[in-house]
Amino acid sequence: MEQEGAMSEGLRRRDIFLKIEPLGGYSPLAPVAGSRRYGRDAMYGMGHETGRVQPTEIAATTVNALVYREYLDDHYTTPNTAKLVEADVNEPPWYRRVPGAVLYAEPGEQLYIHVLNADNDCHSLHVHGVKYGIDSDGAWPFGVGTRRGLRSDEILPGQSWTYSFDVTEETVGVWAFHDHTHMVQANVNRGLFGALVVRNPAAPRALDVPMFLHAMQAPSIADSFESPVLHKATPMQTFEHTFTTAGVVAYHCKIHGPTMSGTVTVDPGAPAGDRTVDIHDNSFVPQAVSVRPGKKVIWTLAQNFDHIVLAPGGGALTYCLNGRAFVGNTPTIEAHSGQRLRWHVVNLDLGSVWHNFHPHSARWALPAPPAGAADVHGLSPAEGFTADTIVPAALRLPCELQDLQCDPPDDACRVRVKGDFLFHCHLEEHMMAGLAGLVRARDWVWVDPKTAWSSDLRLPLDDGRNDLDWVDLVRCGDCATGDHDHPHTHTKPHNPCCGIPEDDDDHPGHPARHHGVTAHDGTDCDPKQCPHDHAHPPGKPGGRCCGHDHGTGRCCGHDAAEPCEVCERVGGHHTHGGRHGHGAGDDGADDHGPGDATDDGHQTGPGHLHPARSAARASTTGLARDALTDAMHLPLHGPVTPTAGTPGVPAMPVMTMPGMPDARPIDVCDLADTGYWELLPVDSHVLAVHAVLMHTGQVLFFAGSGNNVPNFNAHLVRSVVWDYQEGTFYDPGCPFDVFCSSQTVLSDGKVLVAGGTDKYDDFVGSQATYLFDPQLRQWIRVDDMDAHRWYPTLVTMGDGRAVVSSGIQAPNEVFDPAIGWRPLPNTTSLPLYPHLLLLKDGHLFYTGGQLGNATVEGRAINPFTGAEQTVSGLRDKAKRDQGSSILLPPAQAQRVMVIGGGGAPSSTKRTDIIDLSSGPGGAAFHPGPDLAKARGLCNSVILPDRTVLVTGGGLHGETRADAVQLAEIYDPATNTMRSVAEATVSRLYHSIALLLPDGRVVTAGSNPDRGDDELRLELYHPPYLFRGPRPVLDSAPTEWRYGTTVEVSTPSSMTVKWAHLVRPMATTHSADTSQRLVDLPIVCRDACSLTVEVTDNPNLAPPGWYLLFVVDDCDIPSVALWVHLDRLPLAPPKIIVGSHHQMGGHEHRPQFPIPGLPPLKPPKKRATKAAAKSAEAAGKRATKSATKRGSRSANG
């Protein structure tokens, strides 16, 4: 905030307001603990071979930081939320960044900096370089005081001081500021520093890049320990730890979260001897104990649940750039080639270690004499300097691409590329310990179909998502020859593209074999060897499209390799509607943020430009001009000789705290075969009984009372919205007990939740129905059902309505947003949570999967007429309790698989498959491949490479000792089941698995006993993430319609073999009626786009939001884009009095025929008391039945 005030020697007064604030729980490896943007290592150092740092490292480096935070008013109510480095795409939000402030000034100003101390210790402000008196020096004990008890060199908690500084021409430069009271280095190492940049008004315009090299460390290292999993046993299991350093050590149960916590006070004055703590099911008794240094605390598992006693510790030394360590977390400066960067570099590591600063492919002028240039600058403690560099060209192009830039043909398009250039401290151990960042140079390059096939250079495509690039970790190492010491040693070299050993008979039918791709000489899949005819259904054209529309307004689909009578030449260069440019640097196209819609309805990927449809040919390519004129051609032909590595470079140590168990070892040679599991550094906050992926990219977890009678009696019902990418959680409340309800997603993206728990033991279901609005993050009450339902199943139909079935012998009903619920004709009473899947003819198929009742045969049901047709052949029908059921990909094949399931005396490993492509008449189940491990209570997820992940479950119901942690993947193309990586966390009853938009799978929950809530989150990284670089999906229209064609923008088009829609999951109790993968036949392709065909049958793809993936010839999927498939807008829901949110309503009737769906009828009457009594009686019968089955009566 500027104020023109009194003149002091002709200087203009400006007031600046800083507040010293604590920033608790800050780790330089993950400023936002659960955010996927942090916790990364883009250099894949030792211990970080997956690109992720370990949660133990994050905990070990956590400090309670301190920052100077700038405010824009003298009441300190409006923080300055502007970024410190505008071009840094990794910078944390303003409330989680270190340092807290960078100030700018110009000669001729007099700065009045008002510093308010909001910490609980004394601090000051000391600024280098500018002019001031001793009243503004801030160095204790040499400051001044006032009669009111204030001091310039020691600001007490709650007090403030105003410092004044003159800014003149001789002060141009960058100047550090920091605390100078007591323990200067200790406070600077916690983040209490910043910089004042005095700008030179005559300097050319540039992007300011303030960059701090510094250390972060707590004044003392906190004690840390982690017990193994403690199980109920005889004798009782114990864990002990000896405490050595005085202080307070906080600990908690790693399984059940920080709500189950305790403290140990280490005090020389404590009573003599060791201390004991009993571990109860949900508490430590006593919660607080005191011991002397050198004495033990012994924890004893005294009750039933499993526990892990964890003290995360923290405070370890970390070298940082702007408060962060390791590339991927540290600053990534994103700019266009040719832009000027103005570095303001300061070393605030005040210890005995010096640093230097070296940016790659950059240099700055030295003052004369001796003139010249430099690209390394040494920095003593508190030294700073300012230098300008120019962002280099992203890459030098080979001849065939360089020539194309001068005169791109009509069928050319532009793709965005990047070059990631390191900057770092050139002391090797500092760089490998994380003291490095990136300058990301961004350029545009013209490509056409010919060069897309013929160029040997794989362009470094920039998808704008700031994800880590794939790195082949086995090209130069022991795995390449099979000589590494590991029980899973490969004896044959990997195909780096597909991650499969050459000629491996254990992987029949892999794309490397049946798509004509062969592993050869360690090179990537050659697209010239991968014909694209397999991407087109029979009767559709294959090969490359000639690009001519022949006046039809759409691509003719003719293969450019064959003569075209209309085009009159081979490989016709006619355009259809303009060039497919992926944005333009200066031709009028605008950048769009994540998920932004462009003005013609396109949905863009994060940070991507809308596809250009204008005369972009006349514009520049976006490459720096000197890169075009002085290009050096890369030697792209001939054999490449691998190096043996860099001798003498020490391995980077993995930071683990004493007493912490090491993470499960990962063999990088196996990643492309097995994938791996990552335990996230945050927990789910609630027991994840139910989970839904919403079109905002966020996940809704809800539990209601969560199988906990005290919670139910106290009306403690919960839900939470988890932002997977940002790592944040939002509590929207929970209006009723949604425990054991059902959920589905309607066509507008709202989550419909019906049923739940009105009463425990004997269970009575609820009539309540709510919508959850993903945009408002709010529950909305709508019309109640006629029946009370507990353990029902909801299915979204092809017309957008939702059918509910079961829930303790309740008749079927249908929900329409405009008129609410109405009854449907009676059908066979299905078991609890029946597995129902919508077929292409509008029937619902009951697979035989269910909870607790195996007497009902599988059948196809028309819910609107009551007609049924049974099917046979399902084996182990009595053992399908909470197995899983999947509509195998693609949905057009109409094949259903039933996987595993529980029952007496143990679970089954069998799978069965039925082909319903010709309808249920005459169809029967036939055996599929057995699972490696028998399992009930399991979850299955359709992966975007058209395989199925099976995870979780157990051999004997809810017995932890028999939990199955091994995951398996089923491949429908080869009808094979293979074992992959083992999870860390067991997932049993009340657990979920959910596909995420980036192709990973999150698992959560598990509740084998009441109150025993598993809160840890674990992420599965499938093998395809380690086979090669992912195809880039730039943009697509947001709104899609049935029976149309859609153009999808992708610079990877020439290697894409599949495009498909995946419906987001909505799952509970091993049942998900939503998930399906719908093929999008590719009818045309050019260098930068695909044209795909959308099904005309809404029963195959019910209206709603979908994940759009493209998959390349190595079976590697892109990151998904969200698209909305619908024919008409969904009617606003009918709202009843007392809802959280009021909306208008009107009747909505389908405007297109849906097989099997009759017209709507008027709303039904309200439920009667007799219906409620009937529901309670049914609940008693269900509870008695559950008692016969075993523990389910106690578990809900």
Tell me the per-residue pLDDT of 377-388, one tens digit each, with 9 for 90 and over: 999 999 999 999
First to last CA, the chain: 59
d(CA 837, CA 856) in angstroms, rounded, equals 16
Please compute the mean of the pLDDT values over residues 1018-1028 and round it to a whole number.
Answer: 96
Q: Give percent above pLDDT 70 in the chain.
A: 77
d(CA 320, CA 922) in angstroms, rounded, equals 67
pLDDT for the residue numbered 8: 58
pLDDT for residue 1190 is more than 50: no
Helix (H) or strand (E) holding 444: strand 436-447
Confidence bin at 247 (pLDDT 50/70/90):
confident
Helix H segments across 27-90?
Answer: 55-60
CB atoms within 10 A of CB 248: 13
The answer to whether the beta carbons of residues 527 and 1055 sit under 8 Å apart is yes
pLDDT for residue 366 is more than 90: no
d(CA 994, CA 721) in angstroms, rounded, equals 14
Q: Which two three-digit tokens encode residue 222?
A: 């906190």
Residues in Cβ contact with 577 at an 8 Å cutoff, skipping those fewer than 6 apart: 549, 613
Q: Could you tell me the fold of the domain covering 12-204? A: Immunoglobulin-like (2.60.40)
Residue of 1089, 1034, 37, 209 whose CA lies nearest to 592: 1034
Q: What is the DSSP string of 225-249?
A: EEPPPB---SSPPEEEEE--SSEEE
E runs forming strands in 495-542: none
Q: What is the pLDDT of residues 981-1008, one digit of tens each?
A: 999 999 999 999 999 999 999 999 999 8
Residue of 12, 5, 1 whose CA lies nearest to 79: 1
d(CA 549, CA 556) in angstroms, rounded, equals 5
Confidence bin at 390 (pLDDT 50/70/90):
very high
Angle of CA points 411, 413, 416, to nearest 5°:
165
- Hunting for tokens 């019910």 — which residue is that? 1102
Q: How far is CA 664 from CA 47, 55, 230, 984, 1037, in A?
A: 11, 12, 18, 8, 43
Q: What is the pLDDT of residues 316-336, one digit of tens each?
A: 899 999 999 999 999 999 999
Please compute the mean of the pLDDT values over residues 1167-1190 and round it to a whole number.
Answer: 46
Confidence bin at 248 (pLDDT 50/70/90):
confident
pLDDT for residue 718 is more than 50: yes
d(CA 406, CA 385) in angstroms, rounded, equals 40
d(CA 695, CA 777) in angstroms, rounded, equals 12
What is the per-residue burial (b if ≥16 Cβ within 10 Å, else e) of 814-843? bbbbbbbbbebeebeebbbbbbbbbbbbbb
Confidence bin at 189 (pLDDT 50/70/90):
very high
User: What amino acid occupies position 846?
Assistant: Y
Residues in Cβ contact with 848 at an 8 Å cutoff, skipping those fewer than 6 apart: 835, 854, 856, 857, 858, 874, 877, 880, 885, 898
Q: How far is CA 840 from CA 157, 834, 942, 1095, 1096, in A?
A: 69, 19, 18, 11, 11
Q: What is the DSSP letter of 561?
A: T
When comparing pLDDT for 554 and 364, which is higher? 364
Helix (H) or strand (E) holding 337: none
Paired residues of 868 in beta bridges: 861
Please compute the mean of the pLDDT values over residues 336-353 and round it to a whole number.
Answer: 94
pLDDT for the residue numbered 9: 65
Residues in Cβ contact with 1006 at an 8 Å cutoff, skipping those fewer than 6 apart: 952, 985, 986, 987, 988, 989, 990, 991, 1014
Q: What is the DSSP letter of 1174?
A: H
Q: How many residues does the chain have?
A: 1196
d(CA 916, CA 713) in angstroms, rounded, equals 46
Residue of 610, 599, 619, 580 whose CA lies nearest to 1053: 580
pLDDT for residue 1088 is more than 50: yes
pLDDT for residue 856 is more than 70: yes
pTM of the model: 0.80
Q: Which two three-digit tokens encode residue 912?
A: 């069965």
Strand 173-178 relative to strand 193-198, pairing: antiparallel
pLDDT for the residue numbered 662: 46
The answer to whether the beta carbons of residues 311 and 224 sit under 8 Å apart is yes
CB atoms within 10 A of CB 702: 29
Domain 674-1026 falls under CATH 3.20.20.70? no
d(CA 395, CA 1153) in angstroms, rounded, equals 54
Q: How far is CA 766 from CA 596, 678, 726, 812, 832, in A?
A: 39, 37, 35, 15, 14
DSSP helix/strand/coil, 839: coil
pLDDT for the residue numbered 406: 87
d(CA 74, CA 58) in angstroms, rounded, equals 36
pLDDT for the residue numbered 502: 37
pLDDT for the residue numbered 959: 82
Every domain of the chain and the residues it spans: 12-204, 225-311, 674-1026
Query: Is 238 buried (19+), middle (13-18) or exposed (0-12) by CB count in 10 A?
Result: middle
pLDDT for the residue numbered 627: 30
Helix (H) or strand (E) holding 629: helix 625-629
The answer to whether the beta carbons of residues 166 and 129 sit under 8 Å apart is no
pLDDT for the residue numbered 478: 62
Residues in Cβ contact with 987 at an 8 Å cutoff, skipping those fewer than 6 apart: 937, 939, 951, 952, 953, 963, 993, 1003, 1005, 1006, 1014
Highest mean pLDDT among 260-264, 424-428, 885-889, 1161-1165: 885-889
Residue of 678, 493, 640, 494 whose CA lies nearest to 49: 678
Confidence bin at 827 (pLDDT 50/70/90):
confident
d(CA 52, CA 260) in angstroms, rounded, equals 28
Residue of 737, 874, 787, 635 whose CA lies nearest to 1173: 787
pLDDT for residue 1067 is more than 60: yes
pLDDT for the residue numbered 715: 87
Asked whether the CA dihedral 337, 338, 339, 342 is positive or negative, the reply is: positive
User: What amino acid occupies position 77?
Assistant: T
Q: Which two three-digit tokens encode residue 591?
A: 């950048």
pLDDT for the residue numbered 855: 80
Confidence bin at 764 (pLDDT 50/70/90):
confident
When comparing pLDDT for 480 and 1040, which is higher? 1040
Q: Which two three-digit tokens encode residue 878?
A: 């009595």
Q: What is the pLDDT of residues 950-968, one digit of tens each?
A: 999 999 878 888 899 999 9
Strand 1039-1040 relative to strand 1121-1125, pairing: parallel
pLDDT for residue 610 is more than 70: no
d(CA 142, CA 162) in angstroms, rounded, equals 16
Q: What is the dihedral of CA 570, 575, 576, 580, to 10 degrees?
A: 120
Q: What is the pLDDT of residues 734-752, one digit of tens each?
A: 999 999 999 999 999 999 9
d(CA 875, CA 859) in angstroms, rounded, equals 15
Residue of 227, 209, 190 whose CA lies nearest to 323: 190
Residues in Cβ contact with 63 at an 8 Å cutoff, skipping those fewer than 6 apart: 26, 27, 190, 191, 216, 217, 218, 314, 315
Angle of CA points 602, 606, 608, to nearest 5°:
65
Phi, psi for residue 894 in degrees, rounded to 5: 55, 45
Please compute the mean of the pLDDT values over residues 83-88 and round it to a whole number.
Answer: 98
Please compute the mean of the pLDDT values over residues 293-297 and round it to a whole number.
Answer: 95
Q: What is the pLDDT of residues 200-231, one digit of tens each?
A: 999 999 999 999 999 999 887 778 899 999 99
d(CA 80, CA 603) in angstroms, rounded, equals 31
